[in-house]
Amino acid sequence: MRVMLLALLLTALASAQSSPATKPGTDAGMPAKEELSIPSGTKVPVALKHAVSSRGTREGDAVYAETTFPVVANGRVLIPAGTFVQGRVSNIQRGGRIKGRAEVLMHFTTLIYPSGYTVLLPGAVENAPGVDKTSVKDEEGTIRSDSQKGEKIGTVATSAGTGAVVGGLSNGAKGALIGAGVGGAVGTAIALLTRGNDVKLDAGTTLEIVIQRDVPLDASRVPATTRSYPPSQ
């Protein structure tokens, strides 16, 4: 009996030594989890789902967007078209009456895949091709309105010219000079009372955001197709 038990014990020990080792926390025979990564510097085209402006939006407001084109690397889809992107308004500044341009700063923080898989990311606006009369002024992605200096000078000049014409018709050369002065003063007042252009991004506005550091992904939760959602209506 003892000989039989000893033989069984030796057989079991030999079998355990010949079996391939498995990593802790994994099942034998199961493949290792494949991992992907969105590289730092990847550019992602998106379209806003709602309007954002320097006039009506407040600091801290949420921003919602959707990718408009798939992001692919090494033959593998990383971000399908139609993936939702969420962010937040970090800073708002209205245009000043005398100086200071309107600005909007947004940071994108989350990707939401169709399965509900959520990925945290650091994303900033790289380019704003769908926004008129604006530019992106820094690496943080601040969208700033163009200067209105020329427009305000034009307002003053036009008002002065109109005053000169009216004054000249009523009182000759002297009246023209007085009229020009009054018109110029009125034009200056109008220019000073008028705020600079607001930054306005309507729903559907296209932006290009850039990923600011490598973002690891679970490949099993990222669709292999280039479109995850039906086209937006």
For residues 141 and 54, state if they share a domain. yes
The closest alpha carbon to 62, from 84, 82, 78, 43, belongs to: 84
Torsions phi, psi of 193, nearest 5? -85, -15
Residue 175, domain member (yes or no): yes
d(CA 167, CA 184): 12
For residues 64 and 171, state if they share a domain. no
State the total domains in the chain.
Answer: 2
**pLDDT, position 11:** 65
For residues 57 and 165, state if they share a domain. no
For residues 180 and 215, state if they share a domain. no
d(CA 230, CA 208): 21
Residue 73, domain member (yes or no): yes
**CB neighbourhood size of 222 (10 A):** 23
Query: Using one digit for the tens of pLDDT, what is the confidence trace for 125-160?
Result: 998 887 777 778 778 889 998 754 444 444 444 544
Q: What's the whole-number mean pLDDT along residues 56-63? A: 94
For residues 138 and 168, state if they share a domain. no
Residue 186, domain member (yes or no): yes
Residue 52, domain member (yes or no): yes
For residues 46 and 120, state if they share a domain. yes
Query: Cβ(54)–Cβ(93) under 8 Å?
Result: yes
Q: What's the whole-number mean pLDDT along residues 109-133? A: 90
For residues 38 and 92, state if they share a domain. yes
CATH of the domain at 135: 2.40.128.260
For residues 169 and 186, state if they share a domain. yes
For residues 63 and 75, state if they share a domain. yes
Q: What is the residue range of 211's domain?
A: 34-146+198-221
Residue 64 has pLDDT above 90, yes or no: yes
Residue 100, domain member (yes or no): yes
Residue 227 has pLDDT above 70, yes or no: no
For residues 185 and 206, state if they share a domain. no
Considering only 22-31, 48-57, 119-128, which range has the smallest mean pLDDT? 22-31
For residues 123 and 182, state if they share a domain. no
d(CA 17, CA 22): 12
Residue 211 has pLDDT above 70, yes or no: yes
For residues 210 and 110, state if they share a domain. yes
Residue 183 has pLDDT above 70, yes or no: no
Q: What's the whole-number mean pLDDT along residues 184-194? A: 44
Residue that wins the pLDDT comparison between 94 and 157: 94
Residue 29, domain member (yes or no): no
**pLDDT, position 78:** 95
